[in-house]
Amino acid sequence: MSLDFAGPVSPPLRPGEQPRHFRSACPRIVRALFVASTFSFLAILAGCGKAAGTAGPPPEVKVLAVVQKDVPIVSEWVATLDGYVNAQIQPQVTGYIVKQTYKEGAPVHNGAVLFEIDPRPFQALLDQAKAQLAQAQAQMGKTQLDVDRDTPLAKERAIAQSQLDNDIQANLAAKAAVQSSEAQVEQAQLNLGFTHVTSLFDGIAGIAQVQLGNLVNPSTVLTSVSQVDPIKAYFPISEQEYLRLAERINAPQGHEDAPKDAPPLELILADGTVYPSKGRVLYTDRQVDITTGTIRVVSAFPNPKNFLRPGQFGRVRASTYTRTGALLVPQRAVIELQGSFQLAVVGSDNKVSIRIVKVGERVGTEWIIDSGVKQGEMVIVEGVQKVRDGSSVDPKPLAAAAGAD
């Protein structure tokens, strides 16, 4: 079998020799690549020259003027609510619970019966004490008759004086026995009355801690009652705040009423709502807590609908004093960097000046600036990240921009 080739067969290549058609095409390929790379480089140079020759417009920023005015400083403290008066209801006698006469969690009044203890043993003791009193009274009557009979006889020396003396002593002993029996009757009556366990003031009764049939004694806690109208709120303030407010919140010596000049208090509940009734300061604790550096303040809030309950948490808010002539800027205009605070101020030439400022209290969405800016200077509120010290900007008033939107 034979193989036929379509074209002439090239002679074999020598070592290191390239094909003839490759040697003829290589110079043309190199020249084409060189021309293409040259044009690309020139195009890049032309583009760079155009970019360097024309600068973009200055960035647009939103500015606001520094405002100066008198600002009330409002402080907040974490508060815990507690009853104005709290009492653990405990029996004064030992016996079995036979009746619960109140509804748990409901209001109760002063003197209302909460529990009843089996009264029969105490009724029996009362009857026994009354019987002993009757015996003592009878004995006292007999001795009194002896004294009345023997007194004239002793004067006439019909009987010995010693007999009259014995009669008098017997009568005195009988009177003492009567007094003792009367006390026993009174104690028995008290114990019988103690079988009706009552509330000592108006308030809210808690959940019963015992059930019918339980044997109770004076150490057993039956339930708790709290007076919640008004209700107390306890909150700690710092020693510095106390020194600033001491004259306004400390009541006069020996006076139980709240000081007249104390700031009104607002109560912010756990869900963020503000309780509608204002509170007042009652008194402060006797000492500063050396572990926290705070002193506890006791306040009271009206609670006519029993809405507030002991154990709730909230925040007490009050205006503690007024900063006169305070300089205010929006909080978002302040830049915090490594413990220092800065403001980007735009001058009359639209140039930015980054200034280190000293900040004071926060008031709502604004921040008091103690030093570093002056009233009327324009500070950047939006676009701070686009500027640097000495750069030019296109300032736009924030209020006007918001109104246009």
pLDDT per position as a tens digit, 262-316: 778 999 999 999 999 999 999 999 999 999 999 999 999 999 999 999 999 999 9
Q: What is the pTM of this model?
A: 0.66
What's the pLDDT at 224?
Answer: 96
pLDDT per position as a tens digit, 375-395: 999 999 998 888 889 999 999
The secondary structure of 217-253, three-state, reads CCCCCCEEEEEEEEEEEEEEEEHHHHHHHHHHHCCCC
Q: Is the pLDDT of residue 197 over 70?
A: yes
What's the pLDDT at 17?
Answer: 52
Mean pLDDT, residues 177-198 taken together = 96
Between 18-32, 286-300, 353-367, 369-383, the lowest mean confidence (pLDDT) is in: 18-32
- Structural domains for the chain: 61-72+324-404 (2.40.420.20), 77-82+227-322 (2.40.30.170), 91-114+197-221 (no CATH), 119-194 (1.10.287.470)
